[in-house]
Structure 1
Amino acid sequence: MTSLRASELYWKFDIKAIDVFVTAENINSLLNDNGFSGEIGILHIDIDGNDYWIWNAVTVANPIIVIVEYNSIFGYDMPWTVPYNPSFVRTQEHYSNLYYGTSLLSICDLAEEKGFHFVGCNSNGNNAYFVRKDWIKGLKVLSPQEGYVESRFRESRAEDGTLTFINGSERLKLLRGKKIHNTRTNSLEDI
């Protein structure tokens, strides 16, 4: 927070920065108290953990575009998200630093429930883009399989914290046995 306030961006633009841990329980009051209720242009959720649960909880804002971080190692066909934990911290949940967030399928299912269409992912394979259905116009709507982008960054860690540079499907193997929330059955299962 201090680095943002010290940056050129902070004094050049009308940026409001608050230092708070976001949870499903406080997201609506945070949005409302800071003037983001009703229709807004963009909502971007990228918190390395409870991204699915945070968007699911949002009721006070009606964005036109939503950008949500997804965990590409969960793939495009598994309805998975990490179980909700209001104090979730990615680096503390699993030594690999890979156990966080939601699958693309789960976030696309949630988007559909909330009245949004999936229009694609960024080239890094970590952000999914959604447009509210009444604003879709001529944009092509994609299935999770069509729009999926596998991340290419190699951020996995060994138990001692050093980078292991594992990529592709090998990353998911590190999470075998971890509990994951199936968003279609609303139950816990093992990875």
Structure 2
Amino acid sequence: MMHDSSNWLQDFKSNIYSQGGEDGIIKKALDTLPTNDKWCVEFGAWDGLHLSNTRNLIENYGYNAVAIEGNSERYNILKKNYEENKQVIGINAFVGFSESDGLDTILAGTSIPENFDFLSIDIDGNDYHAWKAMHRYAPKLVCIEFNPTIHTDIDFVQRPDPSINHGASLSALVRLGKEKNYELICVLPLNAIFIHRDFFDLFQISDNSPINLRIDTDHVTHIFAGYDGTVFLRGNSTMLWHGISLKESRCQQIPSFLRSYPGNYNLVQRMIFKLFRLFL
């Protein structure tokens, strides 16, 4: 698929600690802004190093940071990794989406400015809801994880529940971003990057639709049905986080002897199909 120059940020992909080229793109996006306050926030920060989207800024560009990790074991490692760096504030907390546990409340206990430079959100499920719950703080640049198995056109959001890990689609995050005055500027295999609308024109992106900016769709799974009721799987055929293959044979909803165009059913098939539908 051909893409226009709106995707110019892709040329700056590089990984120092990140996973999908985020380090290079984040730095280029921050360099495009007129000023930087050199503050960043990351939650699900893990140990502060593993696939981090902020470690490069902290280590190589002198950024102050708030690193938030809910898992106590990971947080203890994070704290040790940054014990010599007084510019990093480590917080052991799960970021929720209520007034009591949302990011606004957590950050209120720090000295970070309200429109700090960069926010990275990666909590494997409720990312959408955690971002939606932010009202006081408005970072200039946001990197947020989406579920890469969902087609770009689908608007899907899991219900707000810490016990669920379904995630949200790219389109849902784009919709939310617009509600919060953010515009999409780059899409990587697992993360979407947004800029506050006040700075969007600086990036000279003529078409920031998700279908245009998303160039890697290798993880997308497509499911559709034939006229005869056969269910087909195309695209990615592996459950990414479990490594289990998706089998087309296991997706079939209609017995093989009824997989025919309904208008071509004989009398016996019509009778059986009526009974079959009754017990679905």
Please report the TM-score for the alignment, with normalisation by the length of structure 1.
0.70
In the other structure, the counterpart of 1:42 is 118
- Which structure's CA Rg is the greater one? 2
Separation in 2 of the partners of 1:151 and 1:54? 27
**Structure 1 pair 12–30 and aligned structure 2 pair: CA distance change class (3 A):** closer
Q: Contact 1:70/1:101 (CA < 8 Å) preserved in 2?
A: yes
Instruction: Say whether residues 1:108 and 2:183 are aligned partners.
Output: no
Q: Contact 1:31/1:60 (CA < 8 Å) preserved in 2?
A: no
Aligned-pair distance for 1:35? 3.0
Matching residue's letter, 2:181: G
Instruction: Say whether residues 1:6 and 2:72 are aligned partners.
Output: no
- Please point out which of 20, 26, 37 is paired with 2:93: 20
Q: Contact 1:65/1:130 (CA < 8 Å) preserved in 2?
A: yes
Instruction: Say whether residues 1:133 and 2:197 are aligned partners.
Output: yes
Which of structures 1 and 2 has the larger relative contact order (alpha carbons within 8 angstroms, sep 6+)? Answer: 1
Mark the runs of 5 or more structure 1 residues left unpaired by the alignment: 91-99, 158-162, 176-191
Q: Contact 1:50/1:88 (CA < 8 Å) preserved in 2?
A: no
Separation in 2 of the partners of 1:154 and 1:10? 38
Matching residue's letter, 1:144: P
Please report the TM-score for the alignment, with normalisation by the length of structure 2.
0.49
**Structure 1 pair 115–10 and aligned structure 2 pair: CA distance change class (3 A):** same
Aligned-pair distance for 1:120? 1.1
Matching residue's letter, 2:131: W
Matching residue's letter, 1:134: D
Identity %: 22
Mapping 1:1-191, distance limit 5 Å? 1-7=75-81, 9-12=82-85, 14-25=87-98, 26-27=101-102, 28-85=104-161, 87-90=162-165, 100-122=166-188, 125-136=189-200, 137-140=202-205, 141-148=207-214, 149-150=216-217, 152=219, 155-157=240-242, 163-164=243-244, 166=245, 170=246
Q: Contact 1:32/1:60 (CA < 8 Å) preserved in 2?
A: no
**Structure 1 pair 37–101 and aligned structure 2 pair: CA distance change class (3 A):** farther
| Higher relative helix content | 2
Mark the runs of 5 or more structure 2 residues left unpaired by the alignment: 1-74, 220-237, 252-280
Superposition CA RMSD, Å = 2.5
Matching residue's letter, 1:88: S
Matching residue's letter, 1:146: N
**Structure 1 pair 130–36 and aligned structure 2 pair: CA distance change class (3 A):** same
**Structure 1 pair 146–121 and aligned structure 2 pair: CA distance change class (3 A):** same
Separation in 2 of the partners of 1:36 and 1:74? 35
